[in-house]
Amino acid sequence: MRIAEIAVIAPQAEERKQFITAICSQLDVASEQLTVGRLAINDQLVLHLYGLATPAENQSQSWDLLSRKLLGYVVLFSWHDKVSFENIKPCLEQVTTRPETALVVAANVGDTEPPALQALSNKSIFVNQQGKFTFYKQDEAESAKKVLLTLIDLLLERAE
């Protein structure tokens, strides 16, 4: 059996847990620092999602080791919370230095509709050429699944 691994990074443990629970059929670990979920795609492939806290500066070596095994990253933040965005900035800077990294940055818009594209320029969101930005609604499982599909589409585009 093959295992595909994706890191889900967010400032709050509840954000990570809710996102992973929306996608995975099995939750193995749920703590402040780590959430692990599994989704069996078929009898040959299992998808593991690792919910990780945003890294401290001294964690860069462990992230380098982890990143070699990952298909990609999903980085979550709250669109309406400036502190949430500030908390993910160091993570984005670290992840985007690796050109081979597949990255999806997803902003939770809560109960509101996603803003117009010009609002993006006000946030100064930088995603490398291998990445994509999208909005999602944390309380809607289908919305979380669409974020994951965005990452998979990105990986498929690279394979062409």
Q: Which amino acid is at 124?
A: S
The DSSP bridge partners found for residue 6 are 49, 72
Hey, what are 141's tokens? 């499982």
| HEC secondary structure over the chain | CEEEEEEEEECCHHHHHHHHHHHCCEEEEECCCEEEEEEEEECCEEEEEEEEECCCHHHHHHHHHHHCCCCEEEEEEECCCHHHHHHHHHHHHHHCCCCCCCEEEEEECCCCCCCCCHHHHHHCCCCCCCEEEEEECCCCHHHHHHHHHHHHHHHHHHHC
Dihedral class, residue 49 (left if φ above 0, else alpha if ψ from -120 to 50, else beta):
beta
Per-residue pLDDT tens listing for the chain (160 residues): 899 999 999 999 999 999 999 999 899 998 888 899 999 999 999 999 999 887 664 455 455 566 678 899 999 999 989 899 889 888 888 777 777 788 999 999 988 887 765 555 555 555 666 689 899 999 999 999 999 999 999 998 888 7
| Residue ranges covered by each domain of the chain | 2-159
Sheet containing strand 26-30, strands side by side: 26-30, 34-42, 45-53, 2-10, 72-78, 103-108, 131-136
pLDDT of residue 104: 94
pLDDT of residue 24: 94
pLDDT of residue 78: 94
Is the domain spanning 2-159 CATH 3.10.105.10? The answer is: no
